[in-house]
Structure 1
Amino acid sequence: MGRAAEMLDVTPAFLRSLDNARLFVPQRSSGGHRRYSRYQLRLAQRARDLVDEGTALEAACRIIVLEDQLAEAQRINARLMRDRDSQNPPPPPG
């Protein structure tokens, strides 16, 4: 956790608060130390940015979850559109 906090220029308490807010749940080493994925570090950085802009931590976490859900919905929609287009090619001109 100390290395992750150092990389993000936050305190370990800030990272624990993200865990408590359930923004993400880090893996645990056999010794019980928190292990963060790159994705989780990106989420933590986004949370820090929002908090630095004056957003409350709980609101920042909710914003991040909603942004993530929107991005996933957009990926699914794009894939469905591609699939639909490949199954129904446009009629030939003429």
Structure 2
Amino acid sequence: MGTVSGFGGGSGSGCICGAISGGTVAIGLVLQNKKQTADMTRQLHDWFREQYGVTCCKTIRANNDKGICLKLTGEVAGKIAEMLSTV
């Protein structure tokens, strides 16, 4: 986990949600293919934006309680599992 711990809090800048960043790493580790990883990561990003309206950590955290990060991380993990099951 130390390797990706910097993704939390929008990679320290408050921008991209760490669940998306971590999800990108997970997808890449499983697929080991640049094009497939890029395509699936784009799908994940689009799904997240459709579900939550934004991908910006600062915005998400400002409008929700503290438990939102754990909730979103779990939901992203579930979505990734669903996506990878089709490969």
Instruction: Report the TM-score when normalising by structure 1.
Output: 0.32
| Bigger fraction of residues in strand | 1
| Bigger fraction of residues in helix | 2
Tell me which structure has the larger Cα radius of gyration: 1
Instruction: Report the TM-score when normalising by structure 2.
Output: 0.33
